[in-house]
Structure 1
């Protein structure tokens, strides 16, 4: 890899190995860009949170200057995009099932910090659903780039690809359990907010199902060929 690939915004990337894992992303420079994006998001959250907790003469800091309103507005916009859109963009752009799944959970985690407690609410359910779908899309995008086929599950895949497939399957299982718990405990009004995002499960189940179907077919074909060779 060239020296230029080790630089982002004019800065040299540290080491680089942590940015190159298949579960993280295909290109370290793109992974570093998303890491910088998350750093900005966390920074804005810190500023906004400080504005609500720090007081000057019993007056919250955010009421002293209107700039905190602008920070909060930008933070809300970025958080919404990070939960709903950014994971899919990153998955298609740089692969990385783990990062694609984790991205929408970051704003939810920050919100829990601000609230001082964990709640499996509609935002968490949406984040889990989007994260699972983005993770499946990242698996597909990675294999499409590496194989040059729009149906990469039909070709030969190495052990590393199989590990990624298993990882994404586990993510889907965890997300499904979380969403099931959410659906069983919340009022109908919250379910109405979640339902438009339920279509994302078609992506998750469709992609992972295609991979496992091909895996089972390959296993059966290999066993049949082995039995024929022995007979």
Structure 2
């Protein structure tokens, strides 16, 4: 009896969830993988010790690496996700870039809890995902109404979930934390409102099709 080997389907690099252009999506995936590797390596090095002495305190090179990583994380939270969304669409990849540094660190440390940095990643990742819907719709259909395109339902559902998670995370920090935390998170509310408006407009267009 012959056994037929069937290949398992994998998502294409030019999927609407990842990006419109295959080449640009590959650039985004490469950046994401490199970002995760750097964040995980830095987190592991920060926890490593030799004879009870933390490795990070043994050489100034680690200080340079640390501040370089901080700059990279800041750019990857506020700038790169939105730039990628406007550059190539792809709500999943745009969101992933924003939250990747924090998730990588928590994967290494073995703990995952809501912090201001993670909340910022969720908020701006959600905003990038929502913006990516419009870019994808325009570049694939020549329309700025993602909700009117059934082919983008997967991206719309993902962006909606991302925006809702970001809203809950930011609200929890704002109302459950101290006054200083409320003041720190309040400006990010504008980004959440914008993301909600973008996704809400998509759903209005989608419901009109039914």
CA 1:114–1:167 in 2, change beyond 3 Å: closer, same or farther?
Answer: closer
1:152 paired with 2:145, answer: yes
Work out which of the two has the higher radius of gyration on C-alpha atoms and give 1 or 2. Answer: 1
> Shift of the alpha carbon at 1:62?
2.2
> Residue in 1 aligned with 2:185?
194
CA distance in 1, matches of 2:116, 2:47: 25
Aligned length: 202
In the alignment, is the contact (CA less than 8 A) between 2:130 and 2:198 conserved in 1? yes
- 1:24: how far off? 1.1
Paired residues of 2:174 and 2:186 also in contact (CA < 8 A): no
Q: 2:118 corresponds to which residue?
A: 124
From the superposition, tell whether residues 56 and 140 of structure 1 become closer, same or farther in structure 2 (CA, over 3 Å): same
Q: What's the counterpart of residue 4 of structure 2?
A: none
Give the TM-score normalised by the residue count of structure 2: 0.83
24-33 or 79-88, which moves further after superposition? Answer: 24-33
Instruction: Answer yes or no: is the 8 Å Cα contact 2:18–2:92 preserved in 1.
Output: yes
Give the unaligned 5+ runs of structure 2. Answer: 1-8
Deviation at 1:17, TM superposition (A): 4.7
Is the 1:137–1:203 contact (alpha carbons within 8 Å) kept by the matching residues of 2?
A: no
Please state how far the C-alpha of 1:71 moved relative to its aligned partner. 0.9
- Any idea what the Cα deviations from partners look like across 1:134-178, whole Å, max 9, x if unmatched? 1110001101112334x3358x52x31233223322332233233
- Secondary structure (helix, strand or coil) at the match of 2:160 reads helix
Q: Which residue of 1 aligns with 2:59?
A: 65
1:207 match: 198
CA RMSD between the two structures = 2.4
Q: Answer yes or no: is the 8 Å Cα contact 2:170–2:185 preserved in 1.
A: no
Separation of aligned partners in 2, 1:206 and 1:58: 52
Question: Could you tell me how far apart the structure 2 residues matched to 1:54 and 1:166 are?
Answer: 41
Partner of 2:176: 185
For each residue in 1:43-95, what CA deviation from the matched residue of structure 2 results, as whole angstroms up to 9, or x when unmatched?
33344334333333433222332211111111111111111111101111111
Superposition deviation, residue 118 in structure 1:
2.0
Per the alignment, residue 208 of structure 2 pairs with 217
Per the TM alignment, residue 130 of structure 1 is displaced from its structure 2 partner at its CA by 0.9
- The reply on whether 1:83 has 2:74 as its aligned counterpart is no
TM-score (norm 1): 0.76
1:8 aligns with: none
